[in-house]
Amino acid sequence: MRNFTFSQPTVCIFGREPELALKEQLSKRGVKNVLLHYGAGSIKKNGVYDMVISVLKDLNLSYTELAGVQPNPRVKLVREGIDICRANNIDFILAVGGGSVIDSAKAIALGVPYDGDIWDMYIGKASPSDLTELPTPIGVILTIPAAGSESSEGSVISNDDGLLKRAVGTELFIPVFAILNPEYTFTLPAYQVACGCSDIMAHMFERYFTLDKHVDVTDRQLEANIRSMLHYSKLAQDYPNDYDIKAEVMWAGTIAHNDMLSCGRTGDWSSHDIEHELSGIYDIYHGEGLSIIFPAWMRYCWTVDPARFEQFFRRVFDVDFAMGETEKVVNEGINRLENYYRSLGLPVRLSEVNIGEDRLREMADKCVMHRADGTLGNFKKLTADDIYNIYRLAL
């Protein structure tokens, strides 16, 4: 087990009566000018918007709205948000939505005190450590359990110029609070629920496949959380208004990505980066891209540490072939993982989302274009050729 320091600064307020939590959190922080950041307007249909506006007015706070966040959030809107914050002396950003909205809010917060173009941060031309002022603080009202961005140190943004999707991570923009009310997920379409569950699972897979030894505590925690998601994912689709089922999924999404399950271990994260090229170019949902890439990555990388893969599939997917038949265990386990994705209506092949061979090499090269050593991943250092082979396995 590696040395680690664990700190989780986000105050998570889970459950009903979110208006009370929002009023308390904004009041105690001395907020004056709010940027209200959200997506395409679904929050105006499910009552979240009205609740937020009512609280802001009750507290006599000034607020400016910036709507229009898309899945795979764009840097163009981030730049607009930075200008708004500077022009209106915004001292707090309230992100209402899912991971795309939160990631966009984080990018805005990071860009306000930065003199250059915020995209510099996402391609490694600048670093959050270069800032001489702190980013604007962020609060979250979560409506889509998936990305875990409500309490993570990550943000992913897309740029239509070059069709790039890139990430940056820093503790500086971890949200100060996150309000999680499962009732806000009742109106989500079944396919969006599926994509969210895929994203949650992927965050735990990335952490599980590590080269670090003697990490059995976090192995067992990950296994338990993954098994819970295997149980509740389809139920969340079939019973969209069941508070208790949706609560399990929502809390799993937060736990999966707040780094509690990373303690003492280094995760891989190559599958996320490989998927980013798919959603960056083809604008598919991140969760459906992950359901395609992860089985292919597993098929390509399992021989790096066969014992870890055998442990995973025996403990999590109950594969029960005899000991010593590791390859059979892994192949059966991957088949069961693909069947899990299919049960949710998710694709497991690129052809199922109309992606062919024509841009595989381009995507593989772009995966490593901003990498100093020309590779990505930690479990297995992947070159552009390796990534190309994984894409081909996913066809």
For the segment 251-293, what is each residue's pLDDT rounded down to a tens digit?
Answer: 999 999 999 999 999 999 999 999 999 999 999 999 999 999 9
Model pLDDT, residue 260:
95
pLDDT reading at 323 higher than 70: no
What's the chain's average pLDDT?
Answer: 96
Q: Which residues contact 95 (CB under 8 A, 6 or more apart)?
A: 37, 38, 101, 102, 104, 105, 138, 139, 140, 141, 175
Angle at 150 between CA 144 and CA 152, to 5 degrees: 130
Task: Name the pLDDT band for 40 (thresholds 50, 70, 90).
Answer: confident
d(CA 262, CA 192): 26
Between the CA of residue 325 and those of 115, 236, 303, what are the distances in Å? 57, 35, 13
Q: Is the four-CA dihedral 196, 199, 203, 208 of positive or negative sign?
A: positive
Other Cβ atoms less than 10 A from the Cβ of 16: the count is 11
Q: H-helix or E-strand containing 159?
A: strand 154-159
Q: Residue 191, exposed/middle/buried by CB under 10 A (0-12, 13-18, 19+)?
A: middle
pLDDT greater at residue 162 or residue 305: 305
CB 200 within 8 A of CB 35: no
pLDDT digits (tens, 9 = 90+) for 159-174: 999 999 999 999 999 9
Q: For the chain, what percent of residues have pLDDT higher than 70?
A: 99
All domains in the chain, ordered by first residue: 11-185 (3.40.50.1970), 190-393 (1.20.1090.10)
Model pLDDT, residue 5:
86
Query: Token pair 């995209």 is at which residue?
Result: 119
pLDDT reading at 16 higher than 70: yes
Return the closest-CA partner of residue 137 out of 99, 190, 90, 199.
90
174 SS3 class? coil
Backbone angles phi, psi at 76, to 5 degrees: -60, -45
Lowest pLDDT segment from 50-64, 133-147, 230-244, 318-332:
318-332
Give pTM, 2 decimals: 0.95
Pairing of strands 92-97, 164-169: unpaired
Q: Which residues contact 128 (CB under 8 A, 6 or more apart)?
A: 110, 121, 135, 168, 170, 172, 173
Model pLDDT, residue 208:
98
Q: Tell me, what DSSP letter sits at residue 268?
A: -
d(CA 227, CA 313): 11
- Region 16-39: what's the mean pLDDT? 95
pLDDT reading at 324 higher than 80: no
Model pLDDT, residue 321:
79
d(CA 335, CA 341): 10
Other Cβ atoms less than 10 A from the Cβ of 121: the count is 23
Angle at 353 between CA 40 and CA 275, to 5 degrees: 75
Pairing of strands 33-37, 154-159: unpaired
Token pair in block for residue 283: 């604008």
Token pair in block for residue 365: 């090269």
Q: Residue 365, exposed/middle/buried by CB under 10 A (0-12, 13-18, 19+)?
A: middle
Pairing of strands 177-180, 164-169: unpaired
